[in-house]
């Protein structure tokens, strides 16, 4: 089956699941007696969504999908970004940002050591100062604080 | 009015107020340029600064930050496809393709001229029509707002090429569905949260915009980094700031039309710059000759100028309900309202009588602020445009980082970033499968407003849909929406 048909099929299944979940919603207030409870709008969306998805399955259009490219590197970057998100609360903003940018640069074939070290460090430092000092945003820095270097 | 203008000019001429305009426009532009940080964040962060100021000075400062941030937001939209402000999403549709073709300077200059024109035009309208418009806006009820959202949704057809209308519709529905995630406002019932506390507040617009535009742009750049068309080798210098007569003739009518549209949409509480910019884009695409319409989405000057003029005009328009009725027309003006009340000024019908200095100085400062923005930003354009010369292997991680930083600085939630990465991957796949993403964002923005007003109308009209034809205003707007939809079906464009 062509990708042009697989994607609307996914939408069809997704809209049906969304509608099913919406039917399970129950109002806990007086609005439950109204036709417009918390599930009405989502159920309407699910019905229209299934109709449009079914139309797309039948007539997927002539746009050729452009799925080629360096998939391995995209998967690596996505993995590095998720690790960055997971590491933020534990490592803190400064350290995790430095490590994320360095890892992303290396993943994208940047090999100059000074560049791979300098750009992430400079960016992490500048953004920390901008957020913390200029904009007054609190950022978690557990490791720097433990080392006696952080606020 | 002449007396008021004199009072406004006198207040504005005070050195502290001139300084506030400069500071507000400068800070707003800078913060708006950073992907992810918008005017609400900027104004909220500046509130402590306003405590020691006169009310007029603090409102002038906040207004400067507001339109400065919208102005600056267009820069990151055009250069990085990373709209940090909802009102500049539509700017990216044609601004970014122009930049990718090596005309970043031209795109930024046209955006600056359009913003200036839209802002100035709206300031003049505000001057003459503010009190009268306030009463019109007050006459809008829930059914009318529902009709406005339906009209705004017809804008999705502007993003659909031949055979793409169903895809655009599918994306709109996906956006509307994503907007229902979180605690239901009317009944407090959690919807589609899967038991997660983090999802109770729903998905933020910033998260969705950054994931669908900026992060997916970075991921596609990485996926296709070996292709020659993704590499920019040169950008224009100061020469790009010159706009030819032909270009002026091309963009002047869209700017004029979009300024008027943007201002009136901005006056409606809750509508704001986002709806104005989408509607202006759709209107200009519908009105454009067939050949010019084919350029929309690929770097059309009309497609860039229209939303830029509309979003700045809408910013000025949103001050009408704030100043004359005390009703904030947008999230940003709601923050301003809070700051003003804490300073002892109650915006509303009596503001014009009790504090004419505040009322008129803000209106005059809008005009001066637009001049300041143009003077501040034009010389920077060639330097900003050079950002595109940064190699892809450096720019892509930076786009990912700044997108994450913008969301994390607001929410401090690692969960949000994981959700953001998931949405970015999904958006990348959808883009590769030729699904247009702007309708998804439009659906997400309009969803809550549409559902809330539909529910309220149904309750007001005893669970009946009769509000659709009983209120003349609602009926007129709905007929307009049907006409726009039908005209699109009858005259499909060739591509997007």
Subunit contact A137:B397, Cβ cutoff 8 A: no
Pick among A81, A104, A114, A117 to test the B interface (most B CBs inside 10 A): A81
* A137 in B contact zone (CB under 8 Å): yes
A119 touches chain B (CB under 8 A): yes
Contacts of B7 (CB under 8 A, 6+ apart): B356, B357, B360, B361
Looking at the predicted structure, is the pLDDT value of residue A150 above 70?
no
Residue A77: the pLDDT is 95
Contact A84 B219 (CB under 8 A): no
Q: Which of B142, B428, B404 is nearest to A131 (CA)?
A: B404
Of B35, B166, B196, B449, which to mutate for an interface test with A (greatest number of A Cβ within 10 Å)?
A: B166
Q: Which residue has the tokens 């509480």?
A: B269
Whose CA is closest to B131, among B350, B366, B400?
Answer: B350
> What are B218-258's pLDDT values in tens digits?
898 898 877 655 555 555 555 666 778 888 889 999 999 99
pLDDT, position B427: 94
CB neighbours of residue B115 within 10 Å: 29
A29: left (phi over 0), alpha (psi -120 to 50) or beta: beta
| pLDDT at B496 exceeding the cut of 50 | no
Report residue B322 as tokens.
Answer: 């704030």
The reply to whether residue A140 touches residue B412, judged by beta carbons under 8 angstroms, is: yes
For residue A67, give the nearest of B174, B188, B432 by CB distance.
B432
Quote the CA–CA distance of A92 and A55 in Å, as a whole number: 48
pLDDT recorded at residue B60 = 82
Cβ neighbours around B22 below 10 Å, total: 16
- Selecting from B177, B226, B397 the residue whose C-beta is nearest the C-beta of A105 gives B397
Distance CA B389, CA B376 (A): 23
Q: How confident is the model at residue B384 (pLDDT cuts 50, 70, 90)?
A: confident
Cβ pair B187:A104 closer than 8 A: no
CB contact under 8 A, B394 and A78: no
Question: Which residues of chain A make contact with B463, given a CB cutoff of 8 A?
Answer: 34-36
CA–CA dist B9, A149 (Å, integer): 50
Complete DSSP assignment for B26-75: HHHHHHHHSTT--HHHHHHHHHHHHTTS-HHHHHHHHHHHHHHHHHHHHH
pLDDT value, residue B495: 39
pLDDT in tens, B126-176: 777 766 766 676 677 889 888 888 887 877 766 666 667 888 899 999 999
What are B382's two structure tokens? 């060639």
């Amino acid at each position: 089956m062509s990708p042009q048909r697989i994607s609307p099929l996914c939408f069809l299944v997704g809209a049906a699941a969304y509608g099913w979940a919406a039917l399970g919603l129950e109002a806990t207030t007086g609005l439950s007696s109204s036709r417009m409870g918390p599930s009405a709008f989502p159920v309407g969306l699910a019905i229209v969504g299934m109709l449009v998805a079914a139309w797309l399955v039948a007539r997927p259009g002539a746009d050729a999908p452009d799925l080629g490219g360096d998939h391995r590197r995209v998967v690596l970057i996505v993995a590095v970004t998720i690790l960055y998100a997971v590491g933020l609360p534990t490592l803190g903003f400064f350290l995790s940002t430095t490590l994320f940018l360095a890892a992303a640069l290396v993943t994208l074939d940047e090999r100059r050591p000074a560049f791979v070290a300098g750009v992430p460090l400079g960016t992490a430092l500048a953004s920390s100062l901008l957020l913390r000092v200029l904009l007054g945003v609190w950022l978690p820095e557990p490791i720097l604080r433990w080392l006696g270097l952080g606020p | 009015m002449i007396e008021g203008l004199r009072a406004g000019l006198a207040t504005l001429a005070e050195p502290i107020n001139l300084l506030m305009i400069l500071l507000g426009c400068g800070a707003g532009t800078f913060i708006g340029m950073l992907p992810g940080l918008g005017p609400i964040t900027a104004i909220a962060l500046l509130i402590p600064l306003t405590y020691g100021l006169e009310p007029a000075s603090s409102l002038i400062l906040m207004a400067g930050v507001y339109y400065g941030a919208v102005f600056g937001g267009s820069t990151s939209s055009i250069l990085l496809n990373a709209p940090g402000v909802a009102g500049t999403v539509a700017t990216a549709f044609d601004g970014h393709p122009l930049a990718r073709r090596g005309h970043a300077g031209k795109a930024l200059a046209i955006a600056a001229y359009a913003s200036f024109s839209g802002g100035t035009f709206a300031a003049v309208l505000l001057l003459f029509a503010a009190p009268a418009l306030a009463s019109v806006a007050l006459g809008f009820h829930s059914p009318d707002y529902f009709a406005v959202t339906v009209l705004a949704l017809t804008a999705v057809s502007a993003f659909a090429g031949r055979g793409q209308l169903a895809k655009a519709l599918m994306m709109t529905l996906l956006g509307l569905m994503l907007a229902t995630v979180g605690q239901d406002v009317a009944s407090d019932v959690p919807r589609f949260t899967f038991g997660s506390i983090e999802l109770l507040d729903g998905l933020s617009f910033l998260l969705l915009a950054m994931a669908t535009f900026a992060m997916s742009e970075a991921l596609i750049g990485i996926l296709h980094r070996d292709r020659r068309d993704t590499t920019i080798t040169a950008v224009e210098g100061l020469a790009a700031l010159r706009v030819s007569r032909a270009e002026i003739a091309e963009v002047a009518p869209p700017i004029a039309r979009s300024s008027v549209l943007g201002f009136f949409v901005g006056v409606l509480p809750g509508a704001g710059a986002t709806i104005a910019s989408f509607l202006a884009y759709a209107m200009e695409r519908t009105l454009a000759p067939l050949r010019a319409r084919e350029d929309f989405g690929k770097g059309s000057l009309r497609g860039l100028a229209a939303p830029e003029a509309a979003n700045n005009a809408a910013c000025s328009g949103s001050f009408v309900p704030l100043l004359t009725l005390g009703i904030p027309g947008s999230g940003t003006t709601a923050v301003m309202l809070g700051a003003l009340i804490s300073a002892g000024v109650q915006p509303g019908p009596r503001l014009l009588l009790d504090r004419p200095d505040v009322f008129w100085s803000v209106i005059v400062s809008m005009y001066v602020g637009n001049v300041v923005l143009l003077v501040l930003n034009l010389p920077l354009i060639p330097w900003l445009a050079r950002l595109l010369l940064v190699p892809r292997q450096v720019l892509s991680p930076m786009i990912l980082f700044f997108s994450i930083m913008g969301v994390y600085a607001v929410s401090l939630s690692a969960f949000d970033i994981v959700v953001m990465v998931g949405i970015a991957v999904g958006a990348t796949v959808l883009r590769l499968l030729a699904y247009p993403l702007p309708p998804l964002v439009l659906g997400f923005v309009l969803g809550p407003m549409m559902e809330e007003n539909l529910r309220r109308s149904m309750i007001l009209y005893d669970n009946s849909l009769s509000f659709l034809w009983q209120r003349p205003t609602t009926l007129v707007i709905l007929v307009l929406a049907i006409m726009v939809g039908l005209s699109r079906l009858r005259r499909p464009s060739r591509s997007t």
